[in-house]
């Protein structure tokens, strides 16, 4: 029988695999397992500060993250592409490299496959939800919506400003009559032979003809001629008449800042010893349009009685009792209303200079 030859290598035996880690780590793992069995240590009771740190370095192709213990964690499987509707959003995520905070860092506290799975589940549950990026069509829609909103806001602001201006103009037109009055004064004769005209009665009416002021006024000088035939003033009217200075102050408070309408109004202002701005004065004795409508010469000074009869078909200043300043003031305002629109347009184009 032939001798069997065995090729044996009597060199040094191959070194046994030494347990990875040191004795301190093995003792820590044994104590941890013991505490887990007895129920003193639960995974939920672990403080958040003991959570393993995340790995920041990206992995190379084909590598798996290594742990200092005796096990390795497999890489996360890449998600497959889903339907075409969410294609672009998932393609953008797949193209990106592995996110560093998705992979758990090496931990010395795990020693089994169950521990690996628990840690991975804990990390995945703690990760924030990733919102899919909007597609190009979705990106364009918000811009269109924002531009449409801006257009709507601009149109709304323009409409509001136009409405505000229209309300302002209408408010101004409504306030204009409130700032318009008509005045008429009656005079008596004072001074030498009664040739000086002094104020003895003043009446002021508003745009609608309502009486704002109507008082008999006592002149500062002695009355020589009452001129009753024209003024309607008699001696008994002066008994309780208002002194001139007091009456003048009351009248000027009403006239100041208002458009004053009158017939031959410069005589009334002279008796009041007052000057009113020409831009706020409307004298019906010097309105060419009014004379034209009454079939009178444009540059002629036509009496209030004649204009009222021609345009309003009404008789005033009739009888021997004299004129009524209230009646004259109301007739003057009505004559002004006949040519108000045309005359105001003319004054806008040719403003009077004070």
Alpha-carbon distance of 94 to 89, in angstroms, equals 9
Q: Does 18 fall in a domain?
A: no
Share of the chain above pLDDT 70, in %: 55
CATH, residue 244: 3.30.420.10
Q: Is the pLDDT of residue 132 over 70?
A: no
Q: Does 6 fall in a domain?
A: no
**Between 286 and 14, residue with greater pLDDT:** 286
**Between 190 and 102, residue with greater pLDDT:** 190
Q: Is the pLDDT of residue 111 over 60?
A: no
* Digit-coded pLDDT (tens) for 28-60: 888 888 888 877 766 545 555 444 444 444 554
104 DSSP 8-state letter: B
Mean pLDDT of 290-304: 92
Which pLDDT belongs to residue 241?
96
Q: Is 264 helix (H, G, I), strand (E, B) or coil?
A: coil
* Digit-coded pLDDT (tens) for 167-192: 544 444 445 566 899 999 999 999 99
> Where on the phi/psi map is residue 290: left (φ > 0), alpha (ψ -120 to 50), or beta?
alpha
Q: Does 168 fall in a domain?
A: no
Q: Does 221 fall in a domain?
A: yes
Alpha-carbon distance of 268 to 231, in angstroms, equals 13
Which pLDDT belongs to residue 39?
76
Which pLDDT belongs to residue 180?
95
Angle at CA of residue 274, ends 316 and 288, nearest 5° = 50
Which pLDDT belongs to residue 74?
53
Q: Is 62 helix (H, G, I), strand (E, B) or coil?
A: coil
Q: Is the pLDDT of residue 317 over 60?
A: yes
HEC states along 229-245? HHHCCCHHHHCCCEEHH
**Between 200 and 11, residue with greater pLDDT:** 200
Q: Is 258 helix (H, G, I), strand (E, B) or coil?
A: coil
For 336, the domain range is 180-349
Which pLDDT belongs to residue 147?
60
20 DSSP 8-state letter: S
Q: Does 189 fall in a domain?
A: yes
> Where on the phi/psi map is residue 264: left (φ > 0), alpha (ψ -120 to 50), or beta?
left
**Between 86 and 36, residue with greater pLDDT:** 36
Q: Does 287 fall in a domain?
A: yes
Q: Does 140 fall in a domain?
A: no
* CB contact at 8 A, 305 and 316: yes
Q: Does 95 fall in a domain?
A: no
Which pLDDT belongs to residue 120?
56
* CB contact at 8 A, 312 and 292: no
Which pLDDT belongs to residue 53?
46
**Distant-in-sequence, close-in-space partners of 289: CB < 8 Å, separation ≥ 6:** 339, 342, 343, 346
Mean pLDDT of 258-282: 95
Which pLDDT belongs to residue 236?
94
308 DSSP 8-state letter: I
If one counts the domains in the chain, the total is 1
Which of 205, 347, 215 lies closest to 281 in space, CA to CA? 347
Which of 343, 323, 347 lies closest to 335 in space, CA to CA? 343
Q: What is the mean pLDDT of the chain?
A: 74
By CB atoms closer than 10 A (0-12, 13-18, 19+), residue 234 is middle
Q: With bands split at pLDDT 50, 70 and 90, how would you rate the model's confidence at 245? A: very high
* CB contact at 8 A, 270 and 190: no
Q: Locate 69 and state its tokens.
A: 């213990």
Alpha-carbon distance of 308 to 193, in angstroms, equals 33
Alpha-carbon distance of 24 to 53, in angstroms, equals 21
Alpha-carbon distance of 337 to 324, in angstroms, equals 20
């Amino acid at each position: 029988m032939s001798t069997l030859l065995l090729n044996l290598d009597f060199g040094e035996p191959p070194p046994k695999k030494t347990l990875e880690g040191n004795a301190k780590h093995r003792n820590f793992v044994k104590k941890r397992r013991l505490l887990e069995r007895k129920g003193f240590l639960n995974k939920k009771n672990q403080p958040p500060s003991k959570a393993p740190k995340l790995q920041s370095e990206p992995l190379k192709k084909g590598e798996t993250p290594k742990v200092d213990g005796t096990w390795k964690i497999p890489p996360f499987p890449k998600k497959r592409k889903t339907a075409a509707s969410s294609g672009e959003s998932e393609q953008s995520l797949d193209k990106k490299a592995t996110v560093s905070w998705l992979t758990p860092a090496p931990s010395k506290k795990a020693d089994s496959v169950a521990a690996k799975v628990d840690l991975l589940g804990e990390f995945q549950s703690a990760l924030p939800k990733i919102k899919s990026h909007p597609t190009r069509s979705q990106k364009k829609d918000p811009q269109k919506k924002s531009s449409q909103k801006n257009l709507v806001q601009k149109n709304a602001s323009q409409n509001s400003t136009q409405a505000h201006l229209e309300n302002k103009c209408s408010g101004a037109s409504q306030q204009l009559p409130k700032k318009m009055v008509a005045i008429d004064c009656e005079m008596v004769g004072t001074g030498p032979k009664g040739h000086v005209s002094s104020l003895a009665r003043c009446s002021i009416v508003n745009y609608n003809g309502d009486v704002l002021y109507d008082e008999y006024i006592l002149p500062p000088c002695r009355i020589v001629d009452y001129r009753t035939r024209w003024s309607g003033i008699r001696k008994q009217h002066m008994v309780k008449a208002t002194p001139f200075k007091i009456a003048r102050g009351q009248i000027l408070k009403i006239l100041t800042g208002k458009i004053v309408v009158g017939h031959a109004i410069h005589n009334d202002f002279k008796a009041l010893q007052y000057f009113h701005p020409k831009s706020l004065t409307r004298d019906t004795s010097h309105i060419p349009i009014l004379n034209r409508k009454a079939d009178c010469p444009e540059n002629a000074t036509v009496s209030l009685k004649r204009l009222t009869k021609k345009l309003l078909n009404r008789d005033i200043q009739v009888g021997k009792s004299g004129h009524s300043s209230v009646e004259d003031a109301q007739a003057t305002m009505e004559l002004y209303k006949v040519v108000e629109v045309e005359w105001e347009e003319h004054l806008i184009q040719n403003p009077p200079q004070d």
